[in-house]
Structure 1
Amino acid sequence: MLSSFYKEALQTQQNHSHKNTAIDERLNISTAESMQARLGQGVQYLQADVRTLLSELESVGTTLSITRNQHAIHEVIGRYENQRIIPNGHSGVILNPGALDLRLFFNQFGHVFSLEEPGSTGPKYSIHFYDTQGDGVHEVHCINETDKTAWLAVIKKYATETPGAPHISAEKPNQTPSQKTFEPSNELIQEIEMQWRAMDDVHQFFKLLNQYGVKRTQLFHAVKNQDLARRVKNTALISLLEESSQEQNNIMIFVPNRACTQIFTGAIEYVMLTPQHPWMTASNSTFRLHLNINAITESWITRKNTKDGFVTSLEVFDANGDQIVQLFGQRAEGQNEQKQWRRQTFSLLSY
């Protein structure tokens, strides 16, 4: 029997049939609440620790994995192999450069559902991970290469009935530093720059952000016009993707959200941008990026020091100062940055 809430969702879908209209947005609910309303209608709640479930997914073989934020969708075909996850640990990685490459922050994960829906050639299966606020952060889709017997065994092992599904709150706490005014003195700017240059690992930049309680863009503005951070036009992302596609050098594309970051490493084959349409696509045979270019508010070329010298990235942000996507040139530890990538990124500075 359909819940009254799900009936309302279906009616909303009928009343607003435009393909870009989301049911959850119309009903002012989280995507997890929308999924929860469908329990018993092809949806099951998975009562499993996220670390355990990800470990189980290694048995299903090749899948389509999707990580998203509000403005970007990162799709990779790969396998849940080479997991470096500690039981009860706060973070972990699934390390398959060139395939499925994930950074995971387990304290941000909240709920997991499985979905079965009709397809043209039979049932379609997927698993959907949500954060503690009910926002979708990661998906795993069963494809032709997936071991469906192993997939269904995992679902059966952890599926629970409706009474076991928890209440989901869509209340959004303050997840990022406030946009307080940050107007450092000349002395403080010099101190920030000194600390920035003293780094020997790009991950140390997070400590700098936490020290001053600011967003990335606020630090960039503080040292702008230096060789560390230079603002560029918001067309830079398209330009850089098109140039790397033409030259076929390997790049890295990071799409983050609160719970995970998914990374692509390889060469882009196609870049598609339809006139008067906000979503662009960059892809190759095993990867696809969709991104709303209208959401881009700031774009920066930044340089951070490592033990192997400076590395350069393009960082793209929305109006809240939240990172949409970040691009690097591919390199292995112990190697210098690609000269080709450095030339491509530096060419954006002349805009």
Structure 2
Amino acid sequence: MTSIQSPAASPTARLSGFEDLAARHRALLADEPNLRRRNAAERLGVSELDLLLAGGDGAVSQRLRPEFKDILARVPTLGPVMVLTRNDSIVHEKTGPYNAPSFDGMVGLVLGEAIDLRIFLWHWAHAVAATETSPRGARRSLHFFDKAGGALHKIYLVEGSDPGAFDALTAAFLLHDPAPLALEALAPAKVPLPDSDIDQAGFIAGWDALQDTHEFHGLLTKFKLARQQALRLAGEARARPVAPTALRTVLTAAAEAETPIMVFVGNPGIIQIHTGPVKKLLEMGPWFNVMDPDFNLHIFEPTITHAWVVYKPTADGVVTSLELFDAQETLVASLFGKRKPGQAEDSAWRALVAALPTLGAQ
């Protein structure tokens, strides 16, 4: 996907391109008024960043300098916010205070009871402040995009937020006389090694020696494994396949039993985490949803094609997770029982996941 703003385009050409895109977007919304911007961008063959800047849905947007650490450091001044992180299968929304982030190089953390994030800044390329009109008044938001113009993370003001602080943040980081957008195609996914080239014995020995779940990514890198390939090669004592509907099953069981859980959803630029109960579940066509006051989860079930129950050893005992993948074998969500380092896994969560039948078992 290429931007309508090529680096060599003149201001007049860029304006004309945006006017045409805005008109096409308005025509699309006239027929489908509830169409989300991400889906509209796909239909129109442009990036979500282009569509936001074109403003065909009434959004007024301003590009910000890509000083992401400094921008995020100012977000706590906004008061409570709603943060949204998604991939092609799942949308994860959390509302609450956005605590001050901390960074170790390009990796950031936002830690809080409500908003809990893991940030990977090498994927972040563009920032935009937007104001949209709605029946309830102006809605202000911050949007962060990758180099191809795909949305990574969004921050919305809510009731109790400080609009003045948002305007001050926008003014502080406004990109004056911005150069034309230069969007780039993302690098294709790496092709995994064939199973025959993997040191399976070394990999399994490394798995059995894990002391922390965070070591798992390094294990995959060391043995050059794709994640689902690793689960498939690990053996059922370490990872077993379950039905793709396992996410719905687990959320329903957790809600009925009032079992607190952790729900991780992300994309290459960020992971967003919910820790706590899930209560109100709602099916809407192909979407299965959690609709709690401060946590919404929207799952487009047809895109989830593989699910695994995974058992990782740690210094605190075995930690059990449910991992969900799409047809491209991309991890779209992981679920755990509520726990902190130094704590054993919740037995109620372990029993809940153990009840999932192994796929293909007789």
TM over 0.5: yes
Partner of 1:215: 226
How far apart are 1:31 and its partner, in Å? 1.1
Partner of 1:229: 239
Partner of 1:124: 139
Partner of 2:155: 140
How far apart are 1:212 and its partner, in Å? 2.5
Report if the CA contact (8 A) 1:84-1:94 is conserved. Answer: yes
How far apart are 1:122 and its partner, in Å? 2.1
Report if the CA contact (8 A) 1:72-1:291 is conserved. Answer: yes
Gaps of 5+ in 1: none
Q: Does 1:152 align with 2:163?
A: no
RMSD, matched Cα: 2.1
Report if the CA contact (8 A) 1:177-1:213 is conserved. Answer: no
Q: Does 1:109 align with 2:127?
A: no
| Structure 1 pair 127–342 and aligned structure 2 pair: CA distance change class (3 A) | same
Q: For residues 232-311 of structure 1, what are the structure 2 equivalents within 5 Å?
A: 232-274=242-284, 277-311=285-319
Q: What amino acid is aligned across from residue 68 of structure 2 in structure 1?
A: V
Counterpart secondary structure, 2:341 = coil
Partner of 1:341: 349
How far apart are 1:27 and its partner, in Å? 2.7
Report if the CA contact (8 A) 1:109-1:131 is conserved. Answer: yes
Partner of 1:6: 18
How far apart are 1:119 and its partner, in Å? 1.9
How far apart are 1:49 and its partner, in Å? 0.9
**More off after superposition, 131-140 vs 277-286:** 277-286
Distance 2:52 2:309 in 1: 39
Show CA shifts across 1:158-206 (max 9, x none): 1234x314523141212x4314532457xx3332211101010111111
Partner of 1:34: 51
TM normalised by structure 1 equals 0.91
Distance 2:303 2:66 in 1: 35
Report if the CA contact (8 A) 1:33-1:168 is conserved. Answer: no
Q: Does 1:25 align with 2:42?
A: yes
Partner of 1:203: 214
Counterpart secondary structure, 2:320 = strand
TM normalised by structure 2 equals 0.89
Q: What amino acid is aligned across from residue 299 of structure 2 in structure 1?
A: L
Report if the CA contact (8 A) 2:84-2:92 is conserved. Answer: yes
Report if the CA contact (8 A) 1:111-1:130 is conserved. Answer: yes
Show CA shifts across 1:11-51 (max 9, x none): 32344333447332133221122233349961100114111
| Structure 1 pair 297–41 and aligned structure 2 pair: CA distance change class (3 A) | closer
Report if the CA contact (8 A) 2:321-2:334 is conserved. Answer: yes
Report if the CA contact (8 A) 1:47-1:159 is conserved. Answer: yes
Show CA shifts across 1:234-258 (max 9, x none): 1111010000001111100000101
Q: For residues 69-84 of structure 1, what are the structure 2 equivalents within 5 Å?
A: 69-84=87-102
Partner of 2:76: 58
Q: Does 1:314 align with 2:322?
A: yes
- Residue in structure 2 matching 1:94, options 110, 133, 136: 110
Q: Does 1:171 align with 2:185?
A: yes
Distance 1:166 1:108 in 2: 20
Report if the CA contact (8 A) 2:146-2:152 is conserved. Answer: yes
Q: What is the percentage of aligned positions where both structures have the same residue?
A: 28
Distance 2:358 2:262 in 1: 23
Distance 1:235 1:48 in 2: 39
Counterpart secondary structure, 2:356 = helix
Report if the CA contact (8 A) 2:73-2:100 is conserved. Answer: no
Report if the CA contact (8 A) 2:52-2:59 is conserved. Answer: no
Partner of 1:327: 335
| Structure 1 pair 122–15 and aligned structure 2 pair: CA distance change class (3 A) | closer
